[in-house]
Structure 1
Amino acid sequence: MRRRVVVTGIGAVCPLGNDVATTWQNLLAGRSGVDYIRDFPVDRLRSDIAASVKAFDVGRYLSPKEAEIYGRVTHFSLAAAVEALREAGIVPIERAPAADDEAVRAGARAQGAPPLAAAPASGLDRTRIGCLMSTGMGSVEIFEEQVARSAARGPRAVSPYFIPGVMPNGAAALISMRYGLMGPSYNLASACATGTHSIATSALMIEAGEADVMVAGGAEAATRLNTVAGFGNAKALAKAVDGDPARASRPFDRRRQGFVMGEGAGALVLEEEQHALARGAKPLAIMAGFGMTTDAEHLTRPHSGGLGLALAVERALARAGTAPEAIGYINPHATSTPQGDAAEVLALRRVFGERLARIPISATKSMIGHLLGGAGAVETIAVVCSLRDQLLHPSINVDELDPECSLDVVRERRAVDLRHAVKCSAGFGGHNCALVLERA
């Protein structure tokens, strides 16, 4: 028998809040985090809207020097991980600093920031705790800034912290150093499936006995001039609807036109069930199954019939030992693109048949936009909250359901008796991942 995996902590930073409680309440209320872009000129871009993180205080987590070294995506990742680890009861304890850390530590103490490094709570084996906190694109702003600096002043002007600051595995490394985690730790990158893949792979590691606890999730902070230009020139982005940015992200709606760039991070603490119970941790949900597949058909377009994603969902159900008839809620990938949403409906119809029309579905992206590498993680947290509270958040902006999408789209907050739920993700490159979560 496989070791059973449970969720014991969750943490989030996203356009609707800088913690899980705020985010979840805003999701239940149907609020949108989408607004006009104000951080750079947009007059020559094809889209001028995004879903940005607001009022985030990096000083709560890093000293000024650390904050300068690491990019925004790493800032969000650390904050989400800190919240998740605290809820899980894995409490940071400062350990003796190395000599070369003292200057940075002194600055952190002066600013009231947490210690640079810490160890897990007493009694936990840190060699059995790992971290797959991933990003699809890394610290885009650092790369842009250092290339511009080199072009303007020459290569000797490039920061010596350029490489450690820009590397995608920086968040996993920082979290591991902060908490002294010596288990498996690295970055996965599968575009928009990154966060979900990190969760599935972490669960696999625990099942296989490679770790007892994993910090798993994803993050992105790539809303920059060139990335918005790139997605916009590919005609993938939405624009404000009738002058209102909040109405732009509209999965499954007949007038959907593209996705909205978003940013943020989601982190989950996954743990072997008996390990969690032995230390008195209360599971929030059970990570019952997962499935990972590839379309192997096109670099950016999903399989026209949804075959790859359907196989991922089928494999997740099989691994969980759960029949399709037992699924009471689906949190879809649902980017709000015409092709993507249509292909996903076909994929889900392959698995659930005519019953799909009676399974409640709500798209988190309708309110927070598309967090790219962080999307699957934050959306999985929404599923955990649904299982915990027996509530479903709405899918906003579905003014007229696409006739090709015969779905039970949740339009208002809904109370449910929910035991099993599915989370789907898909990414450029044809990467698919699906999770089955169960009520604890």
Structure 2
Amino acid sequence: MNQSTIAVTGMGTVSPYGVGIPTFWENVTANRSAVDEIEDKQLRSYSPVGARVPNFDPLQFLPKKLTKNTDYFTQLSLIAAKEALTDAQLLNKDGETLVSGIDPDRVGSAIGTAFGGIQSLESGSKKLATGNSKRVGPRMISKAIPNAASSTISMQYGFHGPSVTYVTACAASANAIGESMFWFFRDDVDFVIAGGVDSLWSNVFLSGLRDAGALAVKGPDDPTTWSRPFDVNRTGMIMGEGSALFVLEPLKRAKARGAHIYATLKGYGASNDAHHDTAPDPKGYSAALAIKRALRSSQLTASDIDYVNAHATSTLAGDAAETTALQSIFGKKLDSIPVSSIKGGIGHLLGAAGAIESTACIKALESGIIPATLHCEKRDEKTPPDVVPNKSRKQRITTAMSNSFGFGGQNGILIWQAP
């Protein structure tokens, strides 16, 4: 296989800060929290606070018919996809069709999600449970199925390349991005839109997370500070939602067409803890194994990494296991490596976490600003020494690593490098 270097030439996101990369990065670097009280009374009974996309109206971005026929999570991905494709200069001025010279047979999509359209599924279940209807509608399955985001993006733009959905819990978008590298190595594609999406604001899902002890159900008086990665007083994860997508293409092709190159995808590693259905392996063995595989594929060493965007969900077990894995890889060097988590500002985007956190890595490479770990007022001594607490830092970096870990022991590591 031809293991060509893969470049990022387009980015798009819908985050708890709003729509668009500029909105996301402006708020991240300004140390703002998008976490707040949940307005919906029923959802709030399971998760008092969270991070949702503010004032979201899909009709501002999508046609009425497309909005009607898609679940909320697919709508988020369609908006992020259009921004990324436009940013990469792959769309005509109409914003709907590919520019000439792009072969649609060689454009693929790789999307990660934890569940898919769970809100459509829950809505249909309520209709049947109340007895008010015996029908859920002919679009319910196509709206709720996990591959709806990837397939709808392909249909919207006429992509005939591989369209694959990765459902590996909170490692899903990291796996989607990393696995798509092999499509380039096999010369199956010229472009891939890759990343993740999730919105799991569902009574059933929130109840399950709460029963599993994963969700924070209490915190400080200020609800915006409940997401507290690495803080000694953290009480659990805070749910977020959104989508982050990249346009990937071979570096050689990107240079030839004069595309703006944000970063290169240098390495990817995956593994499984084979330990527990929800808890991470406290020894961090397989998390470290995934990091080793990412370093090997990138032909880099641990000494080349100068920033880590941690998974750091604000759970005691998760933060501790990740720290143990990092210590086994970096040793004493971990004392001098900034390791931060943007979950303090946006909560946990679940299947989209690896993609939105990779966005932060790429913007950090580009801007020379490392995002902070918000609300880490008293760092747990069992976490990395430099968590960039509370305030973003100006610091030039050349190579960044993004960690993603999920239920079922899923691990996905991505390594990004300045072009």
**TM-score, structure 1 normalization:** 0.92
Whole-angstrom distance in 1 between the partners of 2:371 and 2:318:
22
Instruction: Provide, for residues 328-386 of structure 1, a one-character-per-residue CA deviation record: whole Å limited to 9, x for no partner.
Output: 10001110000000000000111111111110111011110000011111110110101
* Aligned-pair CA distance for 1:275: 1.6
**Partner in structure 2 of residue 313 of structure 1:** 291
Alpha-carbon distance between aligned partners in 2 of 1:55 and 1:406, rounded to the nearest angstrom: 36
Instruction: Determine the C-alpha separation between the residues in 2 that align with 1:326 and 1:158.
Output: 53
| Residue identity opposite 2:404 in structure 1 | S
Does residue 126 of the first structure (1) align with residue 104 of the second (2)?
A: yes
Deviation at 1:156, TM superposition (A): 4.3
SS in 2 for 1:85: helix
TM-superposition CA deviations, 1:243-273 (whole Å, max 9, x none): 2111111111111110001110000111111
| Number of the residue aligned with 1:243 | 221
Partner secondary structure for residue 424 of structure 1: strand
Correspondence for 1:291: 269
Residue 226 of structure 1: how far off its partner (Å): 2.0
How far has the Cα of 1:26 moved from its partner?
A: 0.4
Superposed, which structure 2 residues align to 1:268-417 within 5 Å?
268-411=246-389, 412-417=391-396
- CA drift of 1:315 comes to 0.7
Contact 2:219–2:235 (8 Å) recurs in 1: no
On the 8 A contact 2:112/2:175 being kept in 1, the answer is no
| Equivalent residue for 1:210, pick from 184, 188, 194 | 188
Contact 1:50 1:223 in 2 (8 A): no
Q: State the partner residue of 1:66.
A: 66
Separation (CA, whole Å) in 2 of partners of 1:247 and 1:349? 28
CA distance in 2, matches of 1:158, 1:405: 48
- Answer whether contact 2:43 2:201 (CA < 8 A) is retained: no
**Structure 2 counterpart of 1:433, from 398, 401, 412:** 412
SS of the residue corresponding to residue 10 of structure 1 reads strand
- Secondary structure of 1:200's counterpart equals helix
The answer for the alignment partner of 2:160 in structure 1 is 182
* 1:79 aligned partner: 79
Q: Secondary structure in 1 aligned to 2:31?
A: coil
Structure 1 residues 125 and 391, CA gap change in structure 2 (3 angstroms): same
Q: Which residue number in structure 2 is paired with residue 12 of structure 1?
A: 13
Query: Contact between 2:112 and 2:168, CA under 8 Å: does it hold in 1?
Result: no
Please state how far the C-alpha of 1:93 moved relative to its aligned partner. 6.9
CA contact (8 A) 2:38 2:44 kept: no
Q: Which amino acid aligns with 1:14?
A: S
Paired letter, 1:427: G
Q: Following TM superposition, by how much is the alpha carbon of 1:415 offset from its aligned partner in structure 2, in angstroms?
A: 1.5
- Corresponding residue number in structure 2 for 1:102: none
> Superposition RMSD on alpha carbons, in Å?
1.5
Equivalents in 1 of 2:43, 2:271: separation in Å?
37
Does the 8 Å CA contact 2:3/2:184 hold for their aligned counterparts?
A: no
Given that 1:12 and 1:80 are in contact with CA atoms closer than 8 Å, whether structure 2 keeps it comes out as yes
Query: Conserved in 2, the CA contact under 8 Å of 1:3 and 1:208?
Result: no
Pick from 117, 121, 144: which aligns with 1:143? 121
Cα distance in 2 between the residues matched to 1:121 and 1:68: 28
CA distance in 2 between partners of 1:51 and 1:43 (Å) = 12
SS at 2:375's partner residue? Answer: coil
Structure 2: distance between partners of 1:431 and 1:311: 12
Secondary structure at the residue paired with 1:210? coil
Comparing 421-430 with 226-235, greater Cα deviation is found at 226-235
**For 1:278 and 1:42, how far apart are their aligned partners in 2?**
50
- Look up the SS of the partner of 1:259 in the other structure: coil
* SS of aligned partner of 2:194: strand
C-alpha change, 1:43 and 1:5, in structure 2 (3 Å) is: closer
* 8 A Cα contact 1:239 1:248, kept in partner: no
SS of 1:408 mapped into structure 2:
coil
Instruction: Confirm or deny: 8 A CA contact 1:239 1:245 kept in the other structure.
Output: no
| Residues 203-232 of structure 1, C-alpha deviations (whole Å, 9 max, x = no match) | 221123221210001111111222221111
Deviation at 1:151, TM superposition (A): 2.8
Counterpart Cα distance in 1 of 2:312 and 2:27:
19
* Residue segments in structure 2 that go unaligned for 5+ positions in a row: none
The CA distance in 1 between the partners of 2:143 and 2:311, in whole Å, is 30
TM-score normalized by structure 2?
0.96
Q: CA deviation at 1:119?
A: 3.3
- Which whole-Å CA distance do the structure 1 matches of 2:296 and 2:157 have between them? 35
CA distance, structure 2, for counterparts of residue 310 and residue 249 of structure 1: 25
State the AA in 2 paired with 1:438.
Q
Shift of 1:242: 2.3
Q: Distance in 2 between matches of 1:362 and 1:321?
A: 24
Counterpart of 2:165 in 1: which secondary structure? Answer: coil
Structure 1 residue 132 displacement after superposition: 1.0
Alignment of 1:43-58 (within 5 A): 44-45=45-46, 47-58=47-58
Deviation at 1:13, TM superposition (A): 0.5
Deviation at 1:297, TM superposition (A): 1.2
Supply the distance in 2 between the matched residues of 1:2 and 1:263 (Cα, whole angstroms). Answer: 34
Deviation (angstroms), 1:153: 4.1
Q: CA deviation at 1:59?
A: 1.3
On the 8 A contact 2:339/2:384 being kept in 1, the answer is: no
Question: How far apart are residue 240 of structure 1 and its match?
Answer: 4.8
Contact 1:119-1:181 within 8 A present in 2 as well = no
**Paired residues of 2:9 and 2:248 also in contact (CA < 8 A):** yes
Q: CA deviation at 1:414?
A: 1.3
The alpha-carbon distance between structure 1 residues 132 and 13, as it changes in their structure 2 partners (threshold 3 A), is: same
- Decide whether the 8 Å contact of 2:218 with 2:235 is kept in 1: no
Question: Contact 2:111/2:195 (CA < 8 Å) preserved in 1?
Answer: yes
Partner of 2:130: 152
1:164 aligns with 2:165: no
**235-244 vs 27-36, which moves further:** 235-244
The one-letter amino acid paired with 1:33 is A
**Contact kept? 1:49, 1:240, Cα under 8 Å:** no
